[in-house]
Chains A and B, each alone.
Chain A
Amino acid sequence: MNRFYSITGAALIAATLGTVATADIPDRPEELIFKELNFTPPAAGDYRYELPSGVRVYMAPSNEFPLVNITFSFKGGSYLVADDKAGLNSMTGSLMRSGGTASMTPAELDEEIAYLAANISTSSGSTTSSASLNALSSNLDDALGIFMDVVRNPRFDDDRKRILVEQSLEGMKQRNDAPGSIMGRDFTRLMYGEDSFQARVSTEATITSITEQDMRDFHARVFHPGNLIIGVSGDFEPQEMLETLEAAIRGWEFGESVPNPPSSDNVPEPGVYYVNKDDVPQGMVRLGHRTVDRDHPDSIAISVMNDILGGGGFTARMMNRLRNDEGLTYGVYTSFVRPSWYPGHFLTHFSTSGETVALALRMAMEEIDKMRSGMVSEEELTTTQNSFIETFPRTFESKPAMLGVFINDEWTGRDPNYWATYRDRVRAVTRSDVQIVANEYLRPDNTAILIVGPWEDIYRGNVNEVDPNRRASMAEFFGGEATQIALRDPMTQKELPADGGG
């Protein structure tokens, strides 16, 4: 007897006997009815403290485990570094942990941390820097002692520095191997300008010129309590923790808080730009223009609009058109990159085989136009709103994640009510709001298009396409005009002779 029939048979008998077990179970999962998720976002104010010295602290105790997480978040990063020292911030961040302290060699430090079973890490990114500790609450005093030694008195050991420089240079050599890393650098240059800190790239010269004194200076400027917000989660008594922290920073000089990252008013000249790389079969395409900053009043409507256009993965229009209907690419997405301190940019990104770049580009532009000329459907809007609301709790999914949000919000001066009203504001977005922001913030006429790939194939397009409506070449964009961007030497970032592809 076939197993399936025997089982349905049994179920049938059970059903006719009216057993309670099967009676309540719907036939299909779509018929299940779910309760709404009951979730109130946490308020930053409930977790915020100030030390007597003025340092801001966010604390979220939890006695689930005898572990404590302490994160020191410092304002400042690569934007504070001079052009000829590019890479200084990340080298400083990395060597604070690996390069020992004034009282301990790197090997001794490794051993002490391992013995205490603690994790300590330090780093410095583009706009913030950080140091964090995860330790057993039972030996927190010792672990915190070492952590403070790392943060306050780094040794910047010469041997460890040499190893780090060797590794960086080894990595640098491969910079031009992949279209994606060329795209990343050149698109940022296009959007923010060659001289902006966003577009700055380290070179062999800048990395090798970094001295111990440079690191000490950067360290002194960024890693001090005048520039610090602390986050603590895990197993501790809040009042005791405040005292412990105050004691830990005692005698540590308060410097001046660093300035905000600079804005860039660069506006890319609309047009087609390309980097010729003919050792790859695909063209990688990114098009975009500058846009607003993070907390612009239209921000939520923009997010909803973007999700429907191309931000929402498999449900988004771009993905449906370019991938599911046309099979031109395996992935396409759009994004409004909105940094906290300065206006960001809008982008659409995809890869497709060289000869179909123009066709895919035409279709992407059509989707952008459609977004502006017509209203989205009720179903599209609801799907996006539900997904925003359903995934909202994940923003605060753990205590460390929650504190991270609060600290970032404080650094960037976000409205404290932002999260409390977030879902209401998502729900309030209407179909006409979506069209209004599409018209305002999608600017096809101001778009710069950057393409990395085999330019000859890309320009020519799909000449052998039988369907004339699907035939496309780059001649149809900006009157066929295109500006070549030279590949740059990976170690110097100087432009290479323009004829060489790949």
Chain B
Amino acid sequence: MRLFRIAAVGAAVLASAQANAQQVEPIQFTLDNGMEFMLYPRSEEPNIIAAGWLAKVGSVNERPGITGISHYLEHMLFKGTGTIGTNDLEADRASHDEQRELQERLLSQVIDVQYDRWRRGEISDPWDATYDTDEMREIRSELREVVDAHKTHVVTNEFDRVYTTKGASGMNAFTSHDLTMYFINVPSNKFELWAWMESDRLSNPSFREFVSENGVVIEERKQVLESTPTGRIDEQIDSVFWSSTPYSWPIVGWPTDISGYAYDNLTDYFDTYYDPSNLVGIVVGDFNPSEVKSVIEEYFGRLETTNPVIQPVVTIPIHPAIEKRIDAECDCQTRVRVMYPAPPFRHADGYVLEVLTGILNGRTGRLYKSMVEGDEIADRASASYQPRKYGGALEFTGFPKNEATTADLEAAWEREVELLKTEPVTERELQKIKNQTIADSFRRLQSNFFILVQLGYYEGLGGWEYMNESPEQIQAVTPSDIMRVANQYFDHSIRTVATYTRQEVDLSTMDPELAAMTPEQREQVQMMLAQMAQASIDQLKQVLPMIEQQASSVPAEDKAAFDYMLKKLRERVEAEGN
């Protein structure tokens, strides 16, 4: 009886999927300068518009020597324009030019003098100010004075303030390996404000404070990589896994490179990758498309294209038959990660891999049933397929429980892989994932903001059309497809295995409040703090009261960790806020 009903449901779901295959149909147009736009009118959230734009550039477009510059540029675009962010443009620009000249002199000293000394073994770090020559010391102190004096001409965070006083919210941006995206929510009647602000920063960016922002990014790198228990390990694993490609460096960049961006690097990069022909604007929400289109034409039409030559990404990953293993220790929960090279975004096998990982994951998935509930050897276990524009990764992660070791989990994982390779998955398992895919394909379109982020993210990876293709392609996956890709991609000879083993840390030297937490909480707190490190001080000041007010809804067992995080954030505001 139940089986019969389920088969009927499956057929019904399938039918509805086919009827609704085309779910997203943005209005698309291209301005004369090459900037593309997608408009997605939607009346379900009255009076609200989510708007944003993406630059088709990420760390994959960088080269050794300027790694991290995509991310750095993202920071710089919040520093205002010739109009926004200063109370005295003339003085501001004069100081700006002075800073630029001093920094150029300093950098050439580092490269010409300090690198030589470092190669000869006279100093241990060419960037360390302790080893400055007399000339450098002079430049550095002059630069510091100029930077300090400049502050009187800077209106801090004016860009943000203009938006928030007009009822806009959620202004933010992110940089990934393949794209950079900027977004915000504005009331429907304020669309022109968005067009004004964004076209202003694209045509008229000031790169104000490009010297002092360096310190901010270096701190951010430290927070993410050095102050989180797994940061430096994650970075190395990524680097090893992607070794033959431009994905091998971190988005934030290598430390020397962050210290060494020249002003021209920044403007060249901007001129090339932020040319309108490399940008896509996206507007989702409650608006009249023709009105919005004419505002767009007026404001973004003023951006001029220089038809820059954008170097294509040529290097694709190679996979020699060498298993790579990394064993690391950290103050973190013990875990094992097994990674396999996988196809890039929108590859036909990608859809099969999405289904395959779906069958493994979740409360009713194979990994939970066999490792967490069954053998009770895992606290958590999951599989994922992470496509990028020019490659992909397939990964298993497991956290051992009780007496189990990472080796036990690795063995348990191998049994799951073997099963996938040799036995077809059941129709029911497959149908469950198909059903969920359909439902999720609708659920993920229920908010303007998420529609915006998805359109931008997928467009940056290689085509927003994925959103329509994916549900359809997933419905077509068969058990034999899954067996085929399991055999093709779960290849021992080319995998990367990493184990993280909890190191017994000396708790007595640690902040006692941190020491009192469970290692899991410690890890989470440090991850959160690292994330918050990316926020500006003013953003932090705004969110702090909100975080404080959430205190009462934090589960009791996480209370201490929450309070510690709050305390650290307050300390940072206190230290930097004045």
Chain A interface residues toward B at CB < 8 A: 2-5, 7-8, 10-11, 14, 20-22, 24-30, 32, 34-37, 39, 62, 64-67, 107, 110-111, 114-118, 134-139, 142, 170-175, 177-181, 184, 313-314, 330-331, 333, 351, 387, 390-391, 393-394, 396-399
Q: How far is the CA of A351 from the CA of B562 in the complex (A)?
A: 16
Pairwise interchain contact B45-A171, C-beta atoms closer than 8 A? no
**Chain B neighbourhood of A142, CB < 8 A:** 5, 9
Q: How far is the CA of A27 from the CA of B83 in the complex (A)?
A: 8
Q: How far is the CB of A466 from chain B (nearest CB, A)?
A: 19
**Is B152 in the interface zone, CB < 8 Å from A?**
no
* Partner of A114 from B15, B197, B432, B442 at Cβ < 8 Å: B432
Does any Cβ of A come within 8 Å of B256's Cβ? Answer: no
Smallest CB separation, B160 vs chain A (Å): 12
Assess whether B442 is in contact with A399, with CB atoms less than 8 Å apart: no
Closest residue on chain A to residue B445 by CB atoms: A65
Q: Determine if B439 and A136 form an interchain contact, defined as CB atoms under 8 angstroms apart.
A: yes
In the complex, which residues of chain B have a beta carbon less than 8 angstroms from the beta carbon of A179?
A: 563
List 22 interface pairs A-B (beta carbons < 8 Å), by A numbering.
Answer: A4-B96, A4-B204, A4-B206, A5-B93, A7-B203, A25-B196, A25-B299, A25-B302, A29-B193, A34-B166, A34-B192, A34-B193, A37-B187, A62-B44, A65-B445, A115-B6, A134-B443, A138-B15, A174-B557, A178-B554, A330-B570, A351-B548
Q: Which of B189, B190, B267, B556 contacts A172 (CB 8 A)?
A: B556
With contact pairs A22-B302, A115-B428 given, residues A65 and B446 touching in the complex (Cβ less than 8 Å): yes
Residues in A with CB closer than 8 Å to B175 are none
Contact of B192 among A32, A134, A399 (CB under 8 A): A32
Interface contact B299-A139, CB-CB below 8 Å: no
Q: Is there contact, CB below 8 Å, between B436 and A117?
A: yes
> In the complex the two chains form, is A178's CB within 8 Å of B551's CB?
yes
Which segment of B104-112, B338-346, B539-547 sits at the interface? Answer: B539-547
B364 at the interface (CB under 8 A from A): yes
Is A110 in contact with B364, judged by CB distance below 8 angstroms?
A: yes
Asked whether B333 is an interface residue with its Cβ less than 8 Å from the other chain, the reply is no
State in angstroms the CA–CA spacing of A118 and B363 once bound together.
14
Contact B431 A177 (CB under 8 A): no
Q: How far is the CA of A91 from the CA of B30 in the complex (A)?
A: 56
Q: Could you say which residues of chain B place their CB within 8 Å of the CB of A184?
A: 552
**Closest CB in chain A relative to B535 CB, distance in Å:** 14
Nearest CB in chain B: distance from A204 CB, A: 13
Cα distance A21–B570 in the bound complex, in angstroms: 46
Knowing A25-B298, A117-B439, A138-B16 are in contact, say whether A178-B167 is a contact too (CB < 8 A).
no
Tell whether, in the assembled complex, residue B362 and residue A114 are in contact, meaning their CB atoms are under 8 Å apart: yes
Q: How far is the CB of A19 from chain B (nearest CB, A)?
A: 8
**Chain B residues proximal to chain A, CB less than 8 Å:** 5-6, 9, 12-13, 15-16, 20, 42, 44-48, 82-84, 93, 96-97, 162, 166-167, 187-190, 192-193, 196-197, 203-207, 267, 270-271, 298-299, 301-302, 304, 362-364, 428, 431-432, 435-436, 438-440, 442-443, 445-446, 541-542, 544-545, 548-549, 551-552, 554-560, 562-563, 570, 573
In the assembly, what is the distance between CA of A447 and CA of B560, in Å?
30
B residues in contact with A5, CB < 8 Å: 93
Known contacts A34-B190, A314-B542; is-contact A181 B556 (Cβ 8 Å): yes
CA distance A30 to B163 in the complex (A): 10
Residues of the B chain whose Cβ atoms lie less than 8 Å from the Cβ of A170: 557
Q: Is the pair A178, B5 in contact by a Cβ cutoff of 8 Å?
A: no
Known: A10-B304, A331-B548. 18 other contacts (CB 8 A): A2-B93, A3-B267, A4-B96, A8-B82, A14-B302, A39-B47, A65-B442, A65-B446, A114-B362, A136-B16, A138-B13, A139-B13, A172-B556, A174-B560, A178-B563, A397-B45, A398-B44, A398-B446
Which residues on B sit within 8 Å (CB–CB) of A65? Answer: 442-443, 445-446
Given A139-B12, A181-B552, A32 and B545 touching (CB < 8 A)? no
Measured between C-beta atoms, what is the minimum distance from A78 to chain B in Å?
16
Which residues of chain A have C-beta atoms less than 8 A from B193's C-beta?
29, 32, 34
> Chain A contacts of B203 at CB under 8 A?
7, 11
Q: What is the distance, in angstroms, from A345's C-beta to the closest C-beta of chain B?
A: 15
Residue of A nearest to B46 (CB): A393
Contact indicator A180/B552 (Cβ below 8 Å)? yes
Which B residues lie within 8 Å of A34 (CB)? 166, 189-190, 192-193
Whether the pair A116, B9 counts as a contact (CB closer than 8 A) is: yes
Contact B440 A117 (CB under 8 A): yes
Provide the bound-state CA to CA distance between A6 and B549, in Å. 48
What are the residues of chain B within 8 A of A390 when measuring CB–CB?
167, 187
A139 CB contacts on chain B under 8 angstroms: 9, 12-13, 435
Q: Could you tell me the distance between the alpha carbons of A179 and B431 in the complex, rounded to whole angstroms?
A: 50
| Complex partner residue of A21 from B298, B552, B554, CB under 8 angstroms | B298
- Chain A residues with CB below 8 A from B558, complex form: 174
Per the bound structure, the CA–CA distance linking A394 and B186 in Å amounts to 12
Assess the B438–A330 pair: CB atoms within 8 A. Answer: no
Question: In the complex where A134-B443, A181-B556 touch, is A7 in contact with B82 (Cβ < 8 A)?
Answer: yes
> Of residues B46, B162, B555, which shows the largest number of chain A Cβ atoms within 10 Å of its Cβ?
B46
Complex partner residue of B544 from A39, A172, A178, A330, CB under 8 angstroms: A330
Is A29 a contact of B196 with CB atoms below 8 Å? yes
CA distance A180 to B548 in the complex (A): 9
In angstroms, Cα B196 to Cα A118, docked, is 43
Contact A173 B46 (CB under 8 A): no
Point out the residues of chain A lying under 8 angstroms from B559, CB to CB: 174, 177-178, 180-181
Q: Which residue of A lies closest to B369 (CB)?
A: A107
- With a cutoff of 8 Å between Cβ atoms, the chain A residues found around residue B436 in the complex are 114, 117
CA distance A110 to B365 in the complex (A): 11
Bound-complex Cα distance A355 to B233 (A): 43
- Report B473 CB to chain A, min CB distance, Å: 17
| B190: chain A residues within 8 A (beta carbon) | 34
Q: Is the CB of B301 within 8 A of A21?
A: yes
In the complex, what residues of A have CB within 8 A of residue B560's CB? 174, 177-178
Q: A139 to B206: give the CA distance in the assembly, Å.
A: 55
Given the known inter-chain contacts A391-B167, A396-B46, please indicate yes or no for A177 contacting B187, CB distance below 8 A. Answer: no
* Contact residues in B for A398 (Cβ distance below 8 Å): 44-45, 446
B432 contacts which of A26, A32, A115, A351 (Cβ < 8 Å)? A115
Q: Is there an interface contact between B302 and A2, defined as CB atoms closer than 8 Å? A: no
When C-beta atoms are compared, the residue in chain B nearest to A111 turns out to be: B364
In order of increasing CB-CB distance, the 8 nearest A-B pairs are A331-B545, A117-B439, A138-B16, A180-B551, A171-B556, A65-B442, A117-B435, A174-B556
Do A37 and B556 touch across chains, with their CB atoms under 8 A apart?
A: no
Instruction: Given A36-B189, A115-B432, A330-B548, verify A7-B162 contact (CB < 8 Å).
Output: no
Q: Quick check: A29 and B431 within 8 Å, CB to CB?
A: no
Across-interface contacts of B301 in A (CB, < 8 A):
21
Chain A positions within 8 Å of B431 at CB level: 115
CA distance A95 to B314 in the complex (A): 55
Residues of the A chain whose Cβ atoms lie less than 8 Å from the Cβ of B15: 138
Give bound CA distance, A399 to B563, whole Å.
Answer: 36
Q: How far is the CB of B537 from the nearest CB of chain A, in Å?
A: 12
Name the residue on B nearest A387 (C-beta): B167
Complex Cα distance, B440 from A65, in Å, reads 11
Query: In the complex, A138→B9 CA distance in Å?
Result: 8
Q: A134-B443, A138-B12 are in contact. Are A2 and B97 (CB under 8 A)?
A: yes
Question: How many angstroms from the CA of A491 to the CA of B526 in the assembled complex?
Answer: 30
Report whether B563 and A177 are in contact in the complex, using a CB–CB cutoff of 8 Å.
Answer: yes
Is A64 a contact of B432 with CB atoms below 8 Å? no
Measured CB to CB, the nearest residue on chain B to A390 is B167
When distances are taken between beta carbons in the complex, the residues of chain A under 8 Å from B442 are 65-67, 136
B412 to chain A, nearest CB (A): 20
Least Cβ distance of B30 to chain A in Å?
16
> A67 contacts B204, CB within 8 Å?
no
Report the separation of the CA atoms of residues A331 and B570 in the bound assembly, to the nearest whole angstrom: 11
Residue of B nearest to A64 (CB): B44
The interface residues of chain A lying within 8 Å CB-to-CB of B551 are 178, 180-181
Q: How far is the CA of A25 from the CA of B445 in the complex (A)?
A: 34
CB B96 to nearest CB in A, in angstroms, measures: 8
- A37 contacts B47, C-beta separation under 8 Å: yes
Question: Bound state CA distance, A134 and B446, in angstroms?
Answer: 12
Q: What residues of chain B lie closer than 8 Å to A394, measured between beta carbons?
A: 47-48
